A = this chain, B = another copy of it.
Amino acid sequence: MPLTDPDRLFPVDQRLRDMARAFYESVRDLPIISPHGHCDPRWFAENNRFPNPAELLVIPDHYLFRMLASQGVALSDLGIPRADGGDAQSDPRAIWHCFAAHYHLFRGTPSALWLDHTFEHLFGLEEVLSAETADAYYDHIDSCLQRDDFRPRALFEHFNVELLATTDAATDDLRWHQQMRDSGWSGRIITTYRPDAVIDPDFQGFAANVARLGEMTGEDTASWDGYLAAHRSRREYFKSFGATATDHGHASARTADLSRHEAEALFQKALKGGCTLQEADLFRGQMLTEMARMSLDDGLVMQIHPGSHRNHNEAILAWHGRDMGFDIPGRTDYVDELKPLLNAVGLEPGLQIILFTLDETAYGRELAPLAGVYPALRLGPPWWFFDSFEGIRKFREAVTETCGFYNTAGFNDDTRAFCSIPARHDVARRSDCAYLANLVGTGRLRESEAFEVARELTYNLAKQAYNL
């Protein structure tokens, strides 16, 4: 018995299942467009072998280590590095054993679907991972990783990725992107401008980051004009490495449209570290509107990923640093928060803003009504905890009736777990095709339309939304 059901995620009714399979088969082999994610460009620049199964599959995947943490496994036992100099497990086989022994925790989760897909389709494994099969798994995967056809670039091509975007800090020198370009490799990997560290007054080292931005651009970032000019300069630099988008990970969706005088004063206060929490939020909000205005000029698509309460646990932050699985979603308001930006530029024909959410209640109540009327808005796919079968189903069921398919932006995998990319796109394609089959089966869409829409959701809409 294969690890994965060939008809997984399709409706159980036979007529609908046949339909969903037909839609899926029509899009299964389309190239992968991955316009937002967190793969490390260095992998493709250097094209070194991945060192071992744990470093390939476990350590970069916060979905995995957060679940094990929830059942009492210490992050350091999974090889997650300590930021405070403490010890972490360094034996990859021991990490793999710990992971394998807890694999039953993932029953019913997308991680299990993604991993089983990877185990079966990439590595040709056939038995379920468990404490018993842990060594056989480890040895087999490790031996694969010795082979040249498992190097990063070979996998990129094997995965049929047409385009992959990385996400890089505004002050990143993009050296790995440069090295890729210099190598003459034909794989299309582009960058994305992510300026949180130079926009968020609460970000660690904000003033130093802004100073560094000044050095890199030759602009006087101690002044408001110079600061904005530096952003423009870096955006151009990122564009020269293929960037078609910016990305903004703010605590809220707050936007503002202050007078030049107010914005300048707030910026000076932020530089001096004197902002209250409210003022910091206001400054971030002002910068979203500034970024939108720059997008009108340079054509970069804006992505807004709001609403994660980052680093919820102080001890974990002290021990392991940022992005260690203790980021928890919260309620996010869009209607009032986006109003200043939308009143400033929301009707501009040239602008594209892709909205994400970790608050599913906003889909039907706020996001679909906004995207269903403002020309500048598109809805990004279900994000993070909602990048799943149920997440996609609820998203489509909540937004389609109000904003249709054409105000959505296709799929993003948003991952740093490189090998999961084909599996994630496969889950999204299957989930969308299941949804379409349900619509056709209940007379809400014609079969011929469903084939067209399946292709839009899989391929065309992502390219359009990201100007690719």
A12-44 to B contact mask, C-beta < 8 Å, 1/0: 110110000000000000000000000000000
Contact A72 B443 (CB under 8 A): no
| A375/B69 contact (C-beta < 8 A), A110-B401, A333-B331, A335-B309 known | yes
Size range of the chain A interface in the assembly: 35 or more
> In angstroms, how far is the closest chain B Cβ from the Cβ of A48?
31
Q: Judge whether A373 is part of the interface by a CB distance below 8 angstroms.
A: yes
In the complex, which residue of chain B has the Cβ closest to the Cβ of A110? B401
Q: How far is the CB of A179 from chain B (nearest CB, A)?
A: 36
Considering only CB atoms, which chain B residue lies closest to A363 in the complex? Answer: B360
CB distance from A126 to the nearest CB of B (A): 13
Contact B365 A441 (CB under 8 A): no
Stretch at the interface among A49-57, A136-144, A381-389: A381-389
Given A16-B12, A108-B400, A312-B342, are A365 and B373 also a contact pair (CB < 8 Å)? Answer: no
Q: A330-B336, A404-B107 are in contact. Are A70 and B8 (CB under 8 A)?
A: no
Which residues of B sit under 8 angstroms from A446, Cβ to Cβ? 128
Given contacts A375-B71, A446-B128, contact A105 B404 (CB under 8 A): yes
Contact A401 B390 (CB under 8 A): yes
Q: Map CB proximity to B onto A303-333 as digits: 1 under 8 Å, 0 otherwise.
A: 0000001001111100000000110111101
Q: In this assembly, does A445 line the interface, its C-beta being within 8 Å of a C-beta of chain B?
A: yes
Tell me which of A213-221, A285-293, A343-351 binds B.
A343-351
Determine whether A402 belongs to the interface, using a CB cutoff of 8 Å to chain B. yes
Tell whether, in the assembled complex, residue A443 and residue B5 are in contact, meaning their CB atoms are under 8 Å apart: yes
CA of A361 to CA of B67, assembled, Å: 21
Docked-complex contact B370 and A404, CB < 8 angstroms: no
Pick from B105, B373, B443, B444: contact of A70, CB under 8 Å: B373
CA distance A67 to B405 in the complex (A): 11
Asked if A66 is at the interface of the complex by the 8 Å CB criterion, the answer is yes
Cβ contact within 8 Å between A108 and B8: no
Contact flags A245-276 to B (C-beta < 8 A → 1, else 0) = 00000000000000000000000000000000
Q: A72-B349, A375-B69 are in contact. Are A108 and B445 (CB under 8 A)?
A: yes
- From known contacts A388-B401, A402-B385, infer whether A365 and B109 are also in contact, taking CB-CB under 8 Å: no
Type the 1/0 row for A359-377, where 1 means its CB is closer than 8 Å to any CB of B: 1110011101111111101
Q: Does A145 contact B (CB under 8 A)?
A: no
**A335 CB to closest chain B CB, in angstroms?**
5
Residues of chain B with a CB closer than 8 A to A354's CB = none
Q: Which residues of B contact A96 (CB under 8 A)?
A: none
Question: Do B107 and A372 have beta carbons less than 8 Å apart?
Answer: no
List 24 A-B residue pairs with CB atoms under 8 Å apart, sorted by A's residue number: A4-B443, A5-B443, A8-B443, A12-B15, A12-B442, A66-B372, A67-B373, A67-B403, A70-B377, A70-B403, A72-B349, A107-B404, A109-B402, A110-B401, A112-B444, A309-B335, A309-B336, A313-B346, A328-B373, A329-B366, A330-B366, A360-B364, A388-B401, A390-B398
Q: A313-B347, A331-B333, A358-B365 are in contact. List 5 more A-B contacts (CB 8 A).
A: A12-B16, A106-B404, A312-B370, A328-B369, A361-B365
